[in-house]
Amino acid sequence: MSTQEVLCSICDRPLADGEPRYRRPDGDVHTQCFKGPRILVVDDDSLLRDLVAHAVRRNRFCQVDAVSNGHAALERIRTHVYDLILSDLRMPEMDGPALYRRIQIECPDLARRIVFMTSQVDHYAQFIREVGAPVLSKPFPREDLDAILAHMVGPTRAGRASK
């Protein structure tokens, strides 16, 4: 009986039996290929988008991509694997709820890895209750962002270094 060879989803080279590896949504990867969780920040406010992306890059072992709208987010999602999406709810062209519905259809597993950001929690209250996704209420303190990230993708650089 032959065993099927498992390939690293990043480099496409075989993973040896018993070899240390990281589990990713798109499959297992070699430890040397893993560059940290990949996060997509989606917000039409360039200042907030850049601040959130910078905070995540600086304090965590993460790769961060940032886009300004739901259409651009869908394009990124179609070509990259993300461990987490931080998305504004109120955006022109395609808002957060529309993006969420498209993700549910195209990448249902990813719908469980979305955190919404909004200054209009009351306006989106019904949607937020329906989907049950975590929400950061703008303006949010850095500690709230850190708590969500710790829960969704793991500890900060300092937290890992001290273990």
**Selected residue with higher pLDDT from 142 and 29:** 142
Which residue has 């961060």 as its token pair?
64
If asked whether residues 121 and 155 sit together in one domain, one would say yes
d(CA 61, CA 74): 24
Task: Check: CB of residue 60 under 8 Å from CB of residue 156.
Answer: yes
Domain total of the chain? 2
| Res. 1: pLDDT tops 70 | no
- pLDDT tens-digit series, residues 14-66: 988 888 877 777 788 888 888 888 999 999 999 999 999 999 988 777 889 99
Could you tell me which residues come within 8 angstroms of residue 56 by beta carbon, excluding any fewer than 6 positions away?
39, 41, 62, 64, 86, 145, 149
Co-location of 76 and 141 in the same domain:
yes
Domain boundaries, position 23: 1-34
74 shares its domain with 148: yes
β-pairing, 21-24 with 27-30? antiparallel
Residues 124 and 80 in one domain: yes
Using CA atoms, how far residue 47 sits from 7, 15, 155, 158, in Å, is 40, 41, 25, 26
Residue 90 shares a structural domain with residue 156 = yes
**CATH number, position 100:** 3.40.50.2300
Q: Quickly state the pLDDT bin for 161 (edges 50, 70, 90).
A: very low
- pLDDT recorded at residue 159: 44
Would you give the DSSP letter of residue 110? G
Tens of pLDDT, residues 97-140: 999 999 999 999 999 999 999 999 999 999 999 999 999 999 99
> Does 24 share its domain with 94?
no
Is the pLDDT reported for residue 156 higher than 60?
Answer: no
**Are 101 and 26 part of one and the same domain?**
no
The model's pTM is: 0.82
Query: Is residue 42 located within the same domain as residue 30?
Result: no
Whether residues 75 and 151 share a domain: the answer is yes
Residues 17 and 91 in one domain: no
Residue 84 and residue 29 in one domain: no
